[in-house]
A and B are shown apart, each in its own frame.
Chain A
Amino acid sequence: MKNDYRSRNHPAWWAFLLHRLSGLALSVFLPFHFWALGQALQGEARLDTLLRWTEQPLVKFAEIMLVLLLAAHLTGGMRLLALEFLPWRDWQKSLLAWAAGAALAAGLAFALAL
């Protein structure tokens, strides 16, 4: 058990956990996203009804979180691809910080555009 704790109390473990949980959250969200877009089949008015529903503060907050999770999954995934496929360089140690920074920047850009 002691080994388990030590192997997990590390930034790379938290990056792994965030990547997995963000992937799970995005997978759960996708069917709802596809369903919502499919409402356009019933015309603009139906889509507008749905868009008005998304104006609620709680839904807006959830949207920002989803964009943040999407950006985090993207940057975390790019970090993993770089680690797995590029020859090791010292700058790869900084990828965690770059990935976190880029994800936060994307989330902020979306939140400020709302």
Chain B
Amino acid sequence: MEGRAVSSAGQGFAAGSVAAPGLSAKSEVWLWIAQRASAALLALYVLVHLATIIYAVRHGLSGAAILERTRGNAAGLAFYVLYVLAIAVHAPIGLRTLCQEWLGWRSASLNWFMAAVAVALFVFGLRAAWAVFI
């Protein structure tokens, strides 16, 4: 138990340090790759998002001012759809690792729960992008 705790600390948040039942080692590797690939995309998206947030608060934060800048902006919609997709991949994989290491939740139900979280994030994120850009 103590060894596992030390290993947890040392490996940081490496995905799948202890595999949950129901997922093969190969699937764990794919999750690890998906986590890193989405992180690389999100690095760019979050930089742009942070710049947009700072721009928005400096140039008017009323509903009208925001929607005037966003409505009909196809490039903005495409950017945020990809942003939401990357989030829907990245966040559940990170939460899954957290649940495994901190809560000891390692049953197959964890994988189903995180799959549901991914779908919910994607759907609600798309709805938000639709509301602001269409």
Which A positions have Cβ atoms within 8 angstroms of B? 1, 3-4, 7-8, 13, 16, 19-20, 23-24, 26-27, 30-31, 33-35, 37-41, 43-48, 51, 67, 70-71, 73-74, 77-78, 80-81, 84-85, 106, 109-110, 113-114
Chain B residues numbered 33-53 whose CB sits less than 8 Å from any CB in chain A: 36, 39-40, 42-43, 46-47, 49-50, 53
Looking at chain B's contact residues, is the secondary structure mostly helix, strand, loop, or mixed? helix
Give the residues in chain B near A39, CB-CB below 8 Å. 131
Q: How large is the interface on B (under 10, 10 to 19, 20 to 34, 35 or more residues)?
A: 35 or more
Inter-subunit contact A47/B13 (CB<8 Å): no
Contact partner, A27, options B40, B57, B95, Cβ 8 Å:
B95
B68 to chain A: closest residue by CB: A44
Q: Is the interface of A mostly helix, strand, loop or mixed?
A: helix
| 26 A/B residue pairs, CB under 8 Å, sorted by A | A3-B2, A20-B13, A23-B91, A23-B95, A23-B98, A24-B95, A24-B98, A31-B121, A34-B128, A35-B124, A43-B63, A44-B62, A44-B67, A45-B63, A67-B50, A67-B53, A70-B50, A74-B50, A81-B36, A84-B36, A109-B54, A110-B50, A110-B53, A110-B57, A113-B57, A113-B58
Cα A37 to Cα B56 with chains together (Å)? 14
Query: Contacts A24-B98, A34-B125, A71-B50 hold; do A40 and B131 have CB atoms under 8 A apart?
Result: yes
CB-based contact B2/A38 at 8 Å: no
Q: Which chain B residues numbered 96 to 130 have a C-beta less than 8 Å away from chain A?
A: 98, 120-121, 124-125, 127-130
B85 on interface, CB distance cutoff 8 Å: no
Interface residues of B in 8-60 (CB under 8 A from A): 9-10, 12-13, 36, 39-40, 42-43, 46-47, 49-50, 53-54, 57-58
